[in-house]
Structure formats: C-alpha cells, structure tokens
C-alpha cells in the first residue's frame, strides 16, 4: 500500500509539473509587456498623469500586437532623475519588458537612456524635446518635435506676427529644457533683427518673481518669452498683471497643462505657447478615434500630453507589428524606419536619429480655454 501511495503521489507531482511547464510558457507567449515610466507624483505630476491617460486610451483602441495581448507596466519616476533611472532599470531587469514608453521631461528621459541603450531595449518618449535625448543613442526615440524648432517658431511668431523688436527672457535655471529653449529663441530673434533687453532667471518651486519682473519692466520690452513649466508660468503671469506689466507673454509646450489656467486665472488670458496638439487642428482618422475614446472616458478635452502619450504607444505598436518580432534590435530598426505615420498629433516620420519630423501648433488661452491658432510645419 505504501509503495502504491508513493507511486500515485509521484505521478501526481509529475502531472502537476507538466502542467506548470505547459501553462507558464503559454502565459508568456500570449502577453507582450511594455514598460511605462512617467512622473505620476512630484513637481510635474500633471504631465505624467495626462500621458498615462493617453497611453491607456491608446491601449484600449489597440490592445494586441502580433496576436498577443499588450500589458502595460507603469512605474512612477516621481519627477526625479534618479527615480527615472531606477524605474528603467527595474522595468528592464526585473519586469523583462520588450520596450519602454517614457518619460515626460528631457532630463529624466536622459537619466534612463544609458541603461536602456546598454540593454538594447527601445524607448519612445512622448514629450522629451531636448536634442540631447537622442544624440549618440540608437535605441532612444521620440514622437515630439525638438526644442530648436520650437524656439525658432516662437521667435519668428514674436518678430513677424506680433511685430516685437525687443524681447525679455525669464527662464528656470534648474531645468536644462528651459535654459536651452530660451537660448534657441534668443539666437533666432537676434538673427531676425531683434534685441534681447533682459535675461533673468528663476528656480523651480519659486513663488515670488517680483524682482525679475521689475528688472524686465525697466528695459521696456515688447514681449516676454519664458519657456518654463506650467506652475511658474502661471505665477509669473499673475504677478506681472499685479505689477502692471502689460506685454504679450510667450511660452513653450511645458505650459500646456490645465493647472496653467486653474492657477493663473484671468492673468493667463492671451498667453500664447508652442505646443504639440490641438483638438481643432487634428486631421487624421486615428486622431478622431482617439479623441472620441479619450473624452468618453475622462470627460475632458484631449490635449497635448495625453495625445503624445497615445502617439508613443501607437508608434511603438506599429513598429513591433512591422518588425514581426519582440526582439529589441528588430523593434529598434522598425522605429528608425517609421515613415508618414498618421498619429494623433499629426503625420510624422522618424529616422535613424530618433527624432520625429512633424508640425507644431500655436495655442492661446482665450476665455479660460486653450484655443488653437495655427499649425507650423518644419
């Protein structure tokens, strides 16, 4: 009896082991895991939250690739460079993802880029606009325009459309993005024949900008260019109004968050900035499908950071489909040959340099809403 029982027990274990061997590979074979690292908390949490909403909406519209279900694994990079690097490392080494989407800001994207590059895991950033993000990298891509283009467009708009001849700058010295954009604007504005009357600095988290605005006002500029993030932009607008500084204010894509309006109120009326997406300027069929799905889910208008999050997902899925593989190098090659992809934010092509070639939009705050002005193509 004992021998028989032992035999039956061993047979049962063998069957169970066989089932495990069968089930685990089947589960792995049916799922494609894509890592997402975004600032869900911290100083620019709004960017991450909007981007994640866009990515999830895109995933609902295209939930499979190569006949497999796409599973998104999100890690909060907490608006911090070290946390961003840790997030990339965890997603690659522990979660074994085939590719990554992230992150919202350039500095944090670069913090994780070296890790992904070494592991040969492709990264698609929704909104990292600094040119250095993709420089000397084979596996880092983006679906947004880059800052030189953004700065040039802002300078031309100031000089040609607003007829400004004297411009003042106010930039966040803690953010390379802000300083670089201000420099790109400055170079183009001067080349057009304009003059920079003042270059002033602030710091992320500052609350009082009276000193900077007072020195700017003394130079009597025609326009103020401040390519900072939404909180600082909103506070500067409020304090400029209080000081009676009534000149046009221009900014960049970092301003495109609902908090700009909720914090700035009436003081941001007329505030103009270069951006990635405007619902009224959307033309592709994918954009129409996305806008309908996003607004049905979140009960708010689709905007730049969610649309770019969606585009990062759609472009990556398209590359995997064309690669017909989940191998990093093959996905990378497909990303680098993306041509005329009809994304949510417009038609784009991506080459070996990892940069998207696409248009940008100009938006302005009117009656408490972001309003589409026009589209500028490269």
Q: Which residues contact 108 (CB under 8 A, 6 or more apart)?
A: 39, 77, 79, 80, 81, 84, 128
The pLDDT value recorded for residue 378 is 80
* 285 lies in the same domain as 259: no
What is the three-class DSSP state of 88?
Answer: helix
| Cis preceding-peptide flag for 103 (omega within 30 of 0) | yes
Q: Give Cα separations from 54 to 158, 240, 347 (angstroms).
A: 31, 34, 18
* 169 lies in the same domain as 205: yes
* 53 lies in the same domain as 119: yes
285, part of any domain: yes
- 8 — pLDDT class (breaks 50, 70, 90): very low
* 264 lies in the same domain as 156: yes
In this predicted structure, the answer to whether residue 93 has a pLDDT above a threshold of 70 is yes
What does DSSP assign to residue 173? T
The pLDDT value recorded for residue 94 is 98
pLDDT in tens, 296-319: 999 999 999 999 999 999 999 999
364, part of any domain: no
The pLDDT value recorded for residue 22 is 40
What is the three-class DSSP state of 236?
Answer: helix
* 157 lies in the same domain as 140: no
* 159 lies in the same domain as 233: yes
In this predicted structure, the answer to whether residue 12 has a pLDDT above a threshold of 60 is no
Residues 183 and 152: their CA atoms lie apart, in Å, by 10
* 255 lies in the same domain as 238: yes
Q: DSSP of 89-155, one letter per residue?
A: HHHHHTS--SEEEE-SSHHHHHHHHHHHHHHT--EEESS---GGGTTT-SSEEESS--HHHHHHHHH
Which of 221, 240, 275 is at the close of a domain?
Answer: 275
Domain that holds residue 226: 148-275
Task: Determine phi and psi for 261, rounding to 5 degrees.
Answer: -80, -40
* 202 lies in the same domain as 308: no
Across 91-111, average pLDDT: 97
Q: What's the N-to-C CA distance of the chain in angstroms? A: 83
In this predicted structure, the answer to whether residue 223 has a pLDDT above a threshold of 50 is yes
Number of structural domains (the chain) is: 2
CATH number of the domain to which 168 belongs: 3.40.50.2300
Task: Please state, for a pLDDT cut of 70, what percent of the chain lies above it.
Answer: 92
308, part of any domain: yes
Q: Which residue, chain included where needed, has tokens 């997030």? A: 87
Task: Please state, for a pLDDT cut of 90, what percent of the chain lies above it.
Answer: 90
In this predicted structure, the answer to whether residue 41 has a pLDDT above a threshold of 70 is yes
138, part of any domain: yes
Token pair for residue 355?
Answer: 């940069």
- 377 — pLDDT class (breaks 50, 70, 90): confident
Instruction: State the pTM of this model.
Output: 0.84
Which helix (DSSP H) or strand (DSSP E) does residue 8 occupy? Answer: helix 2-29
The pLDDT value recorded for residue 28 is 57
In this predicted structure, the answer to whether residue 44 has a pLDDT above a threshold of 70 is yes
Q: Give Cα separations from 265 to 22, 238, 243, 270, 279 (angstroms).
A: 60, 8, 16, 11, 22
CA angle 212, 210, 176 (to 5 degrees): 45
* 168 lies in the same domain as 270: yes
In this predicted structure, the answer to whether residue 3 has a pLDDT above a threshold of 90 is no
* 287 lies in the same domain as 231: no
209, part of any domain: yes
pLDDT in tens, 247-275: 999 999 999 999 999 999 999 999 999 99
* 154 lies in the same domain as 256: yes
203, part of any domain: yes
In this predicted structure, the answer to whether residue 14 has a pLDDT above a threshold of 90 is no
Which of 275, 307, 338 is at the close of a domain?
Answer: 275
What does DSSP assign to residue 159? I
The pLDDT value recorded for residue 295 is 97
In this predicted structure, the answer to whether residue 187 has a pLDDT above a threshold of 50 is yes
pLDDT in tens, 169-185: 999 999 989 999 999 99
In this predicted structure, the answer to whether residue 23 has a pLDDT above a threshold of 60 is no
* 175 lies in the same domain as 239: yes
Token pair for residue 23?
Answer: 């089930």
244, part of any domain: yes
Which of 275, 310, 334 is at the close of a domain?
Answer: 275
Instruction: Please count the CA atoms within 13 angstroms of the CA of 50 that sit on its side-chain side.
Output: 23
21, part of any domain: no
């Amino acid at each position: 009896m004992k021998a028989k029982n032992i035999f039956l027990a061993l047979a049962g274990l063998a069957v169970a082991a066989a089932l495990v061997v069968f089930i685990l590979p089947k589960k792995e074979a049916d799922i494609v895991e894509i890592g997402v690292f975004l600032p869900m908390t911290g100083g620019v949490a709004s960017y991450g939250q909007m981007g994640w909403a866009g990515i999830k909406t895109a995933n609902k519209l295209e939930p499979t690739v190569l006949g497999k279900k796409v599973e998104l694994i999100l890690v909060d990079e907490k608006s911090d460079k070290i946390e961003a690097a840790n997030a990339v490392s965890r997603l690659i080494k522990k979660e074994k993802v085939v590719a990554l989407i992230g992150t919202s800001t350039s500095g944090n994207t670069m913090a994780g880029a070296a890790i992904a590059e070494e592991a040969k895991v492709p990264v698609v950033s929704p909104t990292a606009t600094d040119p250095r993000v993709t420089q000397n990298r084979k596996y880092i891509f983006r679906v947004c325009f880059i800052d030189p283009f953004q700065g040039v467009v802002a300078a031309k708009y100031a000089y040609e459309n607003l007829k400004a001849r004297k411009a003042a700058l106010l930039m966040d010295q803690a953010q390379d993005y802000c300083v670089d954009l201000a420099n790109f604007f400055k170079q183009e504005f001067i080349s057009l024949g304009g003059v920079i009357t003042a270059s002033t600095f602030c710091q992320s988290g500052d609350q009082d900008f009276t000193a900077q605005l007072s020195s700017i006002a003394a130079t009597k500029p025609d326009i103020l260019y401040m390519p900072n993030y939404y909180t600082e932009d909103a506070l500067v607008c409020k304090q400029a109004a209080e000081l009676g500084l009534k000149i046009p204010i221009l900014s960049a894509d970092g301003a495109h968050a609902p908090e700009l309006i909720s914090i700035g109120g009436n003081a941001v009326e007329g505030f103009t900035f270069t951006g990635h997406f405007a619902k009224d300027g959307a033309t592709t069929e994918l954009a129409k499908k996305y806008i309908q799905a996003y607004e049905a889910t979140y009960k708010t208008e689709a905007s730049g950071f969610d649309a770019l999050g969606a585009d990062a997902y759609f472009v990556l899925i398209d590359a995997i489909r064309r690669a017909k593989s989940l191998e990093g190098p093959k996905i990378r090659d497909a990303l680098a040959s993306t041509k005329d992809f009809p994304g949510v934010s417009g038609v784009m092509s991506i080459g070996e340099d990892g940069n998207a070639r696409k248009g940008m939009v100009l938006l302005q705050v009117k009656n408490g809403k972001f309003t589409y002005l026009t589209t500028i193509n490269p």
